[in-house]
């Protein structure tokens, strides 16, 4: 495990890099953490990355910036900071892929704000063959307008951030996606979760893979963890 700084200038990002102890990696995962009351930083998925390293997975776990710091403030600033986060995560993708053999599969796992930034990244980059979305909400304003003192008109804010919203990115997803939500989440209503998941395209005649757990927004569920591990093992061809 290495503590690294990726990128340069305002796009620099601190990250953990976890690689197999021996031999070349077979696959890669970008882990994006949540904003919450425990492990609200790049350590959130560290134990999962270590477990997967034993199966030959190389992982990068970058530190999030918006809204861990700075706070949301207004439409233009927040849109610019979302784009800055994409540049920072771009540096993390480069570091992940640099250590992988050509053609190795790559996945993304994100929780909460990490999942929201990750959806935008996945919708734009086309790098990921598999994505796990944990407890995300369809729109940035669902959080920012509710929990921060954002300047300006509410509707102007919604319009400005709409092209960057996770639900718009979900419509561009081409990866196999696992959606994990809690049926006891105080912050995300089930209908919002379904709205987001069903925005993503799926093969004709199938339904999106939405899983529900008796957890809260923190999603501390052994069943959820086991399910995404099984999903990643299958999609990254680790079995």
Reported as a pLDDT band with limits 50, 70 and 90, residue 69 is: very high
Q: How many CB atoms lie within 10 A of CB 204?
A: 5
- What does the pLDDT read at residue 113? 98
CB 48 within 8 A of CB 225: yes
pLDDT tens, 130-146?
Answer: 999 999 999 999 999 99
pLDDT tens, 139-169?
Answer: 999 999 999 999 999 999 999 999 999 999 9
Arithmetic mean of pLDDT, 85-96: 97
Mean of the per-residue pLDDT values of the chain: 97
Domain 2-235 has CATH 1.10.760.10: no
* H-only helix segments in 54-197: 75-98, 113-125, 140-147, 154-161, 166-170, 190-197
Backbone φ and ψ for 117, nearest 5 degrees, come out as: -65, -40
The pLDDT of residue 18 is above 90: yes
- What does the pLDDT read at residue 226? 98
- The answer, as to whether pTM is greater than 0.85, is yes
Could you tell me how many residues make up the chain? 239
The pLDDT of residue 91 is above 90: yes
- What does the pLDDT read at residue 204? 87
Reported as a pLDDT band with limits 50, 70 and 90, residue 205 is: confident
- How many angstroms separate the CA atoms of 94 and 166, rounded? 22
Q: What is the DSSP letter of 64?
A: P
For the chain, give the percent of residues with pLDDT over 70: 100
How would you list the strands of the sheet with 27-32, edge to edge?
A: 2-6, 13-18, 57-62, 27-32, 106-111, 130-134, 176-182, 209-213
Half-sphere exposure of 47 (CA within 13 A, CB side): 5
CB 90 within 8 A of CB 8: no
pLDDT tens, 105-139?
Answer: 999 999 999 999 999 999 999 999 999 999 999 99
């Amino acid at each position: 495990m290495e503590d690294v700084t990726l990128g340069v200038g305002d796009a620099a990002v601190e990250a953990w890099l976890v690689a197999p102890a021996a031999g070349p990696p077979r696959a890669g995962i970008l882990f994006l953490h949540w904003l919450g009351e425990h492990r609200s930083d790049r350590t959130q998925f560290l134990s999962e990355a270590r477990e997967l390293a034993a199966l030959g997975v190389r992982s990068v776990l970058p530190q999030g910036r918006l809204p861990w710091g700075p706070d949301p403030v207004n439409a233009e600033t927040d849109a610019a900071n979302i784009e800055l986060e994409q540049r920072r995560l771009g540096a993390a993708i480069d570091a992940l892929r640099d250590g992988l053999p050509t053609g190795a599969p790559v996945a993304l796992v994100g929780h909460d704000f990490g999942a929201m930034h990750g959806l935008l990244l996945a919708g734009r980059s086309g790098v990921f063959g598999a994505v796990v979305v944990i407890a995300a909400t369809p729109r940035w304003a669902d959080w920012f307008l509710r929990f921060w003192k954002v300047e300006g008109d509410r509707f102007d804010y919604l319009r400005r951030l709409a092209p960057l919203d996770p639900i718009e990115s979900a419509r561009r997803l081409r990866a196999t996606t696992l959606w994990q939500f809690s049926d006891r989440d105080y912050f995300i209503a089930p209908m919002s979760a379904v709205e987001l998941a069903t925005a993503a395209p799926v093969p004709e005649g199938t339904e999106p893979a939405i899983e529900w757990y008796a957890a809260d927004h923190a999603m501390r569920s052994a069943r959820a963890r086991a399910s995404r591990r099984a999903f990643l093992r299958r999609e990254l061809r680790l079995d």
